[in-house]
A = this chain, B = another copy of it.
Amino acid sequence: MAKKPYPLANVYGLLEPGPVVLVTTASSGRPNIMTMSWHTMIEFEPPLVGCIISNRNYSFGLLEATNECVINIPTVEIAEKVVACGNTSGANVDKFEKFGLTPMPAELVGAPLIKDCYANLECRVVDTGMVAKYGLFVVEVVKAWIDPAVKTPRTIHHLGSGNFMVAGETIKLKSAMK
Protein backbone atom coordinates (compact mmCIF):
# COMPACT_ATOMS: atom_id res chain seq x y z
CA MET A 1 0.00 0.00 0.00
CA ALA A 2 3.06 2.29 0.11
CA LYS A 3 2.97 4.90 -2.63
CA LYS A 4 5.91 5.22 -5.01
CA PRO A 5 7.04 8.28 -6.99
CA TYR A 6 5.57 8.30 -10.51
CA PRO A 7 7.30 9.88 -13.53
CA LEU A 8 5.93 13.33 -14.31
CA ALA A 9 6.11 12.52 -18.03
CA ASN A 10 3.44 9.82 -17.52
CA VAL A 11 1.00 11.87 -15.45
CA TYR A 12 -1.18 12.76 -18.46
CA GLY A 13 -2.28 9.13 -18.73
CA LEU A 14 -3.80 9.32 -15.25
CA LEU A 15 -5.98 12.37 -15.93
CA GLU A 16 -6.64 12.16 -19.67
CA PRO A 17 -9.27 9.40 -19.26
CA GLY A 18 -11.37 11.88 -17.25
CA PRO A 19 -11.78 10.44 -13.76
CA VAL A 20 -13.55 12.21 -10.94
CA VAL A 21 -10.81 13.49 -8.62
CA LEU A 22 -10.56 14.79 -5.08
CA VAL A 23 -8.69 18.08 -4.73
CA THR A 24 -7.13 18.74 -1.35
CA THR A 25 -6.11 22.14 -0.07
CA ALA A 26 -4.96 23.38 3.32
CA SER A 27 -4.76 26.68 5.09
CA SER A 28 -3.41 27.22 8.59
CA GLY A 29 -3.09 23.47 9.00
CA ARG A 30 -6.76 22.86 8.29
CA PRO A 31 -7.20 20.64 5.23
CA ASN A 32 -10.18 20.42 2.93
CA ILE A 33 -11.35 18.08 0.17
CA MET A 34 -13.30 18.99 -2.98
CA THR A 35 -14.78 16.66 -5.57
CA MET A 36 -13.95 17.76 -9.12
CA SER A 37 -14.80 16.45 -12.58
CA TRP A 38 -14.03 19.43 -14.76
CA HIS A 39 -10.34 19.20 -15.57
CA THR A 40 -8.13 18.73 -18.61
CA MET A 41 -4.49 18.14 -19.37
CA ILE A 42 -2.93 21.22 -20.97
CA GLU A 43 0.71 20.15 -21.41
CA PHE A 44 2.65 16.88 -21.17
CA GLU A 45 5.80 17.97 -19.37
CA PRO A 46 5.99 19.64 -17.08
CA PRO A 47 2.43 18.40 -16.69
CA LEU A 48 -0.03 21.29 -16.69
CA VAL A 49 -3.66 20.72 -15.74
CA GLY A 50 -6.61 23.07 -16.14
CA CYS A 51 -9.02 22.83 -13.20
CA ILE A 52 -12.43 24.50 -13.19
CA ILE A 53 -13.30 25.44 -9.62
CA SER A 54 -16.32 27.61 -8.87
CA ASN A 55 -15.95 30.40 -6.36
CA ARG A 56 -19.00 28.89 -4.64
CA ASN A 57 -16.64 26.16 -3.36
CA TYR A 58 -14.89 26.59 -0.02
CA SER A 59 -11.73 25.24 -1.69
CA PHE A 60 -11.67 28.19 -4.10
CA GLY A 61 -10.52 30.55 -1.36
CA LEU A 62 -8.00 28.07 0.04
CA LEU A 63 -6.49 27.55 -3.41
CA GLU A 64 -6.33 31.28 -4.07
CA ALA A 65 -4.67 31.87 -0.70
CA THR A 66 -2.07 29.10 -0.88
CA ASN A 67 -1.59 28.41 -4.62
CA GLU A 68 -1.11 24.74 -3.75
CA CYS A 69 -3.26 21.63 -3.96
CA VAL A 70 -3.13 17.89 -4.43
CA ILE A 71 -5.17 16.11 -7.10
CA ASN A 72 -6.06 12.69 -5.68
CA ILE A 73 -7.55 10.01 -7.94
CA PRO A 74 -10.05 7.72 -6.24
CA THR A 75 -11.48 4.39 -7.41
CA VAL A 76 -14.94 2.90 -7.11
CA GLU A 77 -14.13 1.32 -3.75
CA ILE A 78 -14.54 4.75 -2.13
CA ALA A 79 -17.17 6.15 -4.52
CA GLU A 80 -19.63 6.89 -1.72
CA LYS A 81 -17.03 8.98 0.11
CA VAL A 82 -16.25 10.86 -3.12
CA VAL A 83 -19.91 11.77 -3.50
CA ALA A 84 -20.20 12.66 0.17
CA CYS A 85 -17.29 15.10 -0.24
CA GLY A 86 -19.13 16.66 -3.18
CA ASN A 87 -22.35 17.02 -1.19
CA THR A 88 -20.73 18.78 1.78
CA SER A 89 -19.02 22.13 2.25
CA GLY A 90 -15.70 22.25 4.04
CA ALA A 91 -16.70 25.56 5.58
CA ASN A 92 -18.22 23.71 8.52
CA VAL A 93 -16.91 20.16 8.30
CA ASP A 94 -13.56 18.35 8.48
CA LYS A 95 -14.22 15.98 5.61
CA PHE A 96 -11.24 13.73 6.42
CA GLU A 97 -12.68 13.05 9.85
CA LYS A 98 -16.32 12.94 8.85
CA PHE A 99 -15.88 10.54 5.92
CA GLY A 100 -13.03 8.45 7.27
CA LEU A 101 -10.37 9.46 4.78
CA THR A 102 -6.70 9.48 5.76
CA PRO A 103 -4.44 12.50 5.15
CA MET A 104 -0.72 12.02 4.52
CA PRO A 105 1.88 14.78 4.30
CA ALA A 106 2.91 15.77 0.78
CA GLU A 107 6.55 16.30 -0.10
CA LEU A 108 6.47 19.65 -1.89
CA VAL A 109 3.15 21.30 -1.02
CA GLY A 110 1.22 22.09 2.13
CA ALA A 111 -1.99 20.30 1.13
CA PRO A 112 -2.24 16.65 2.18
CA LEU A 113 -2.33 13.52 0.04
CA ILE A 114 -5.36 11.28 0.50
CA LYS A 115 -3.97 7.86 1.36
CA ASP A 116 -7.17 6.11 0.24
CA CYS A 117 -6.66 7.23 -3.39
CA TYR A 118 -4.45 5.16 -5.70
CA ALA A 119 -2.67 8.21 -7.18
CA ASN A 120 -1.77 11.64 -5.82
CA LEU A 121 -0.49 14.65 -7.76
CA GLU A 122 1.11 17.49 -5.83
CA CYS A 123 0.39 20.74 -7.67
CA ARG A 124 1.26 24.42 -7.68
CA VAL A 125 -0.91 27.06 -9.30
CA VAL A 126 1.04 28.62 -12.19
CA ASP A 127 -1.57 30.78 -13.92
CA THR A 128 -4.61 32.52 -12.45
CA GLY A 129 -5.33 34.69 -15.50
CA MET A 130 -8.54 32.78 -16.30
CA VAL A 131 -9.85 32.41 -12.75
CA ALA A 132 -12.02 35.52 -12.71
CA LYS A 133 -13.72 34.70 -16.01
CA TYR A 134 -13.98 30.90 -15.92
CA GLY A 135 -12.79 29.67 -12.51
CA LEU A 136 -9.95 28.06 -14.46
CA PHE A 137 -6.77 27.47 -12.46
CA VAL A 138 -3.75 26.24 -14.40
CA VAL A 139 -1.69 24.04 -12.07
CA GLU A 140 1.64 22.30 -12.57
CA VAL A 141 2.14 18.81 -11.20
CA VAL A 142 5.42 18.98 -9.32
CA LYS A 143 5.42 15.53 -7.72
CA ALA A 144 3.38 12.43 -8.44
CA TRP A 145 2.73 9.30 -6.39
CA ILE A 146 1.09 6.02 -7.26
CA ASP A 147 0.17 2.78 -5.54
CA PRO A 148 2.08 0.25 -7.65
CA ALA A 149 -0.27 -2.55 -6.55
CA VAL A 150 -3.16 -1.00 -8.48
CA LYS A 151 -2.68 -2.17 -12.07
CA THR A 152 -6.09 -1.37 -13.53
CA PRO A 153 -7.70 1.30 -11.36
CA ARG A 154 -11.49 1.23 -11.47
CA THR A 155 -11.82 5.00 -11.65
CA ILE A 156 -15.24 6.66 -11.64
CA HIS A 157 -16.48 9.11 -14.27
CA HIS A 158 -19.43 11.41 -13.63
CA LEU A 159 -22.34 11.22 -16.06
CA GLY A 160 -24.38 13.83 -14.17
CA SER A 161 -26.90 13.74 -11.33
CA GLY A 162 -25.02 11.14 -9.30
CA ASN A 163 -24.69 8.62 -12.13
CA PHE A 164 -21.16 7.36 -12.57
CA MET A 165 -19.50 5.21 -15.20
CA VAL A 166 -16.96 2.83 -13.72
CA ALA A 167 -13.81 2.15 -15.75
CA GLY A 168 -14.24 -1.07 -17.70
CA GLU A 169 -11.91 -3.21 -19.80
CA THR A 170 -8.69 -1.89 -21.32
CA ILE A 171 -7.87 -2.28 -25.00
CA LYS A 172 -4.62 -1.62 -26.84
CA LEU A 173 -4.62 -0.18 -30.33
CA LYS A 174 -1.71 0.60 -32.60
CA SER A 175 -1.25 4.29 -32.09
CA ALA A 176 1.34 6.92 -32.88
CA MET A 177 -0.36 9.20 -30.35
CA LYS A 178 1.40 9.97 -27.13
Report the nearest B residue to A160, measured CB to CB.
B13
Task: Tally chain A residues at the interface, Cβ within 8 Å.
Answer: 55
Residues of B within 8 A of A39 (CB): 40
Contact A166 B157 (CB under 8 A): no
Tell whether A1 is near chain B: CB-to-CB under 8 Å: no
| CB contact list, A88-127 vs B, under 8 A | none
Contact A79 B171 (CB under 8 A): yes
Report the nearest B residue to A168, measured CB to CB.
B168
Report the nearest B residue to A88, measured CB to CB.
B176
Residues of B within 8 A of A156 (CB): 171
Task: Output the least CB separation between A139 and chain B (Å).
Answer: 13
Contact B165 A170 (CB under 8 A): yes
Contact B40 A158 (CB under 8 A): no
Residues of B within 8 A of A41 (CB): 37-38, 52
Residues of B within 8 A of A129 (CB): 130
**Distance between Cα atoms of A177 and B12 in the complex (Å):** 26
Contact A17 B16 (CB under 8 A): no
Residues of B within 8 A of A60 (CB): none
Contact B177 A166 (CB under 8 A): no
Contact A175 B161 (CB under 8 A): yes
**Distance between Cα atoms of A35 and B157 in the complex (Å):** 20
Task: Output the least CB separation between A168 and chain B (Å).
Answer: 2
7 additional A-B residue pairs with CB within 8 Å, beyond A16-B38, A50-B134, A87-B175: A10-B160, A16-B157, A42-B52, A50-B50, A86-B175, A134-B138, A160-B178
Q: Which A residues have a C-beta under 8 Å from some C-beta of B?
A: 10, 12-13, 16-19, 35, 37-43, 48, 50, 52, 76, 79-80, 83, 86-87, 129-130, 134-136, 138, 154-178
